[in-house]
Amino acid sequence: MNELEKDVADTECTSSINSDPLTDSLQNRHASDACNFDNTDDNLTLPGVDSSSLGHVDFFDEHSDDSSHFTGHIQCFDESAGDVTINDFDDVGGCSEDFDDCYNWNSRLQNDSDNDCDENDTECDDDDVPEQLAKWAADDNICHASVNRLLRILKTRIPELPTDARKLLQTSRNVVTPVVAGGEYYYFGIEYWLQILLSGSSSQALQNLTDHLHLHINVDGIPLFNSVNVALWPILGIVAEWKGSPFPIAIFCSKSKPTSVSEYLTDFIAEMNELSVNGFTFQGKHYCITLSAVICDAPARAFLKCVKLHGGYRSCERCVQTGEWYNKKVILSSVSAPLRTDAGVSSQQDPKHHLSTSPLTQLQNFSPVTGVPLDYMHLVCLGVVRRQIHLWIAGPRECKLSQIQLCNLSEKFVQFRSYIPREFSRRLRALSEYKQWKATELRLFLLYTGPICLKEILTNEQYSNFLDLSVAVRLLLSPQLCMRYVDYAEQLLKYFVACFGHLYGKDQFVYNVHSLIHIADDVRHHGALDNVSSFPFESYLGKLKKLVRRPQNPCSQIVRRVMEGCCQPNIPSTDKDAEFKKPHTEGPLPVSYMNYLQYKQCYARDFFISVASGDNCFIVDGKVGIIKNILHYQVDNSCDAVLVFDEFTHRESFFTNPLDSQLLSIFIVDKLCSVHTVIPLSHGITKCILLPYKSKFVAVPQMHFS
């Protein structure tokens, strides 16, 4: 057992994080590059780590199957030995052209499936055709006019088909959208969706489901049109236990945000309180439900909590400090002000923070402080990371990158493009387009591409500062590491914030940068940061927007489309079989697997595997390597799937500060072993992003898969 394994074992026996080697060594780091923190009067701890004694454990095994499924052995063979080859129905005349430009895994999966001519898939009973057509029209948001044209064509073959899309889709005629809080409003409800979700679950899934569900909600606004000033402000919900897609609890459309937060939340708060006290029953089983998180960006949080906006002097939602007016903005420079408490916020102890009484205080069993996390998608990705890039491109002269450096970065981006895994929905855009980057692109940059492409471009101090943020966020995102290293990550973020002001100026201590010091608290209450992020809601909000096809009555349009089956939530299947694509005969094929079929691609339960670059790098039992072939055998009820794997024989740390990158399973790798290893597909494997670095590669464990 090496030092780190001992540490893991010890930590499992004690809850004291203080005994952690990372935390113990915080004081040692950066002794040589101590900064003068004149801009803060707080005593800042400089985080550091002596990870040389930590050894290595593959912590990023979060997407692996239970290792007990492993058939017990990994086989090796030499390649040379076995190489064988409505009342006012809408959109009748219109057609939505606002197609999703999101090049994502699911759409590619769909396309691949479409391209594979499986005759069995095309066979169906005529009785199913109306139902299948309705599902297709709803899933793909096909306008009624197009559905009508298709129905007229098909009716000559299938007479029982209706001729009108509204009949096919059972479009509701009676959608009442009263004016509430100054806008068009419709309330679906919470239980409405829970009953739908549960009725769509298998009996096995229902048996496994806990009877205490935790609801997360999101409130955010999105403009519906470029030319007409109308915004959509839905209340979206998601059940934490299911990790499925969100559902719309309420729809609100208006020229501005709701005029009254109390009116806007009246139905929700009434139903939530009813559910939290009495629960609900489905098929004889009683369920309790608790609202555990309200996930929003800073303006929406201020709106719901009725507190000062993020530019205010007493705007921090987590600590009590008065901002300072500096260089035409309010800055929050203290990292150790007293923290706000639930009792203090409920009783409005700080009158300079509250504008009025929030309706959230009427919610039973809800914490107004920890129940409203600081959403890292907006705070970190769209906030701090974009701010950093802005400073490198258009900041003060002393921290700006030269044109040559920017060109070098662009070249690296172009070089990286073919190495980005399929699960990432957007390919790398040039750094100069950073203002248009989506949150997923900024996350990709922070966690994966940035640490590699910025090395030797930024100054040592700037790079070290960026890496501090990248490492701290990676620790807080990891379900395996976040709770053990939450104290360390918090110290690292405080150090990052202090250094950020030192490097880029005191005026950078704005709300977003300051709030970084509080996100570790969200991890303490909700687990890994992704548990309470806006990412799933942001994606769903875009889908809801696309349901609107004309400017009139947008709320009723969305409600009808949702009732027709568009944007329906789902509970992800846990027993999905792997799919194998692109058969070939090119090997390598070990002798003992001659009766297996060879494939170039496999859609496993959680990720995509390929023999091509971008999706072929994995960590298996702590070894980094490349998938060279995918083998599958299926006869009657007997089936097996294995991967042919080549290990990199050279492995070293990519960085050693703020900790040894090997602790995060981030390695410089080189030289593939010529002896293949065969691994069962059911064995625990961790997908990596493999990016070129000088003449070698850097492997970074992948943490995001959708």
In terms of CB distance, is 319 or 469 closer to Zn ion? Answer: 319
In terms of CB distance, is 319 or 453 closer to Zn ion? Answer: 319
In terms of CB distance, is 181 or 510 closer to Zn ion? Answer: 510
In terms of CB distance, is 314 or 600 closer to Zn ion? Answer: 314
Q: What is the DSSP string of 323-334?
A: -EEETTEEE---
- Minimum distance, C-beta of residue 340 to Zn ion, in the bound complex (Å): 8
- Minimum distance, C-beta of residue 397 to Zn ion, in the bound complex (Å): 31
The distance in angstroms from the start CA to the end CA of the chain is 35
- Minimum distance, C-beta of residue 318 to Zn ion, in the bound complex (Å): 5
In terms of CB distance, is 319 or 528 closer to Zn ion? Answer: 319
CB 230 within 8 A of CB 253: yes
- Minimum distance, C-beta of residue 319 to Zn ion, in the bound complex (Å): 3
Q: Which of residues 294-323 bind Zn ion (CB under 5 A)?
A: 316, 318-319
- Minimum distance, C-beta of residue 527 to Zn ion, in the bound complex (Å): 22
- Minimum distance, C-beta of residue 440 to Zn ion, in the bound complex (Å): 27
Between helices 460-477 and 386-394, what is the axis angle to 10°?
170
Q: Mark residues 538-577: x for contact with Zn ion by CB under 5 A, - for none.
A: ----------------------------------------
- Say which residues have a Cβ less than 8 Å from residue 644's Cβ, sequence separation at least 6: 588, 589, 590, 627, 628, 629, 630, 631, 676, 677, 678
- Minimum distance, C-beta of residue 320 to Zn ion, in the bound complex (Å): 8
In terms of CB distance, is 217 or 316 closer to Zn ion? Answer: 316
Q: Mark residues 72-101: x for contact with Zn ion by CB under 5 A, - for none.
A: ------------------------------
Q: What are phi and psi of 233, to 5 degrees?
A: -125, 75
Q: Contacts with Zn ion: how many residues (CB under 5 A)?
A: 3
The 8 Å CB, 24+ separation contacts for 100-103 are 100/542, 100/546, 102/425, 102/426, 103/425, 103/426, 103/427
- Say which residues have a Cβ less than 8 Å from residue 554's Cβ, sequence separation at least 6: 184, 224, 230, 232, 253, 548
Residue with tokens 């002000």: 337
503 lines the binding site for Zn ion (CB under 5 A): no
In terms of CB distance, is 383 or 625 closer to Zn ion? Answer: 383
> How many helices, marked H, and strands, marked E, lie in the chain?
23, 22
- Say which residues have a Cβ less than 8 Å from residue 419's Cβ, sequence separation at least 6: 613, 614, 689, 690, 691, 692
Question: What Cα–Cα distance (Å) separates residue 439 from each residue in 375, 426, 568?
Answer: 12, 10, 24
In terms of CB distance, is 319 or 498 closer to Zn ion? Answer: 319
- Minimum distance, C-beta of residue 344 to Zn ion, in the bound complex (Å): 14
In terms of CB distance, is 108 or 506 closer to Zn ion? Answer: 506
Q: Which of residues 393-422 bind Zn ion (CB under 5 A)?
A: none
- Minimum distance, C-beta of residue 518 to Zn ion, in the bound complex (Å): 6
In terms of CB distance, is 340 or 386 closer to Zn ion? Answer: 340
In terms of CB distance, is 318 or 386 closer to Zn ion? Answer: 318
Q: Mark residues 318-347: x for contact with Zn ion by CB under 5 A, - for none.
A: xx----------------------------
- Say which residues have a Cβ less than 8 Å from residue 403's Cβ, sequence separation at least 6: none
- Mark 473-488 as b/e (b = at least 16 C-beta within 10 Å): bbbbbbebbbbbbbbb
In terms of CB distance, is 302 or 319 closer to Zn ion? Answer: 319
Q: What is the DSSP string of 266-326?
A: HHHHHHHHHHHHH-EEETTEEEEEEEEEEE--HHHHHHHHTB--TTSTT--SSB----EEE
- Minimum distance, C-beta of residue 339 to Zn ion, in the bound complex (Å): 8
CB 224 within 8 A of CB 255: no
Q: Which of residues 189-248 bind Zn ion (CB under 5 A)?
A: none
Please give the Cα distance from 317 to 375 (Å, whole number).
Answer: 13
Least Cα distance to 531 among 210, 235, 292, 211 occurs for: 292
In terms of CB distance, is 318 or 484 closer to Zn ion? Answer: 318
CB 323 within 8 A of CB 332: yes
CB 641 within 8 A of CB 678: no
Output DSSP code: residue 574.
S
- Minimum distance, C-beta of residue 497 to Zn ion, in the bound complex (Å): 10
- Minimum distance, C-beta of residue 521 to Zn ion, in the bound complex (Å): 10
Please give the Cα distance from 410 to 647 (Å, whole number).
Answer: 31
Please give the Cα distance from 217 to 363 (Å, whole number).
Answer: 13
- Minimum distance, C-beta of residue 683 to Zn ion, in the bound complex (Å): 45
Q: Using only C-alpha atoms, what is the Rg of the chain?
A: 27
Binding region for Zn ion (CB under 5 A): 316, 318-319
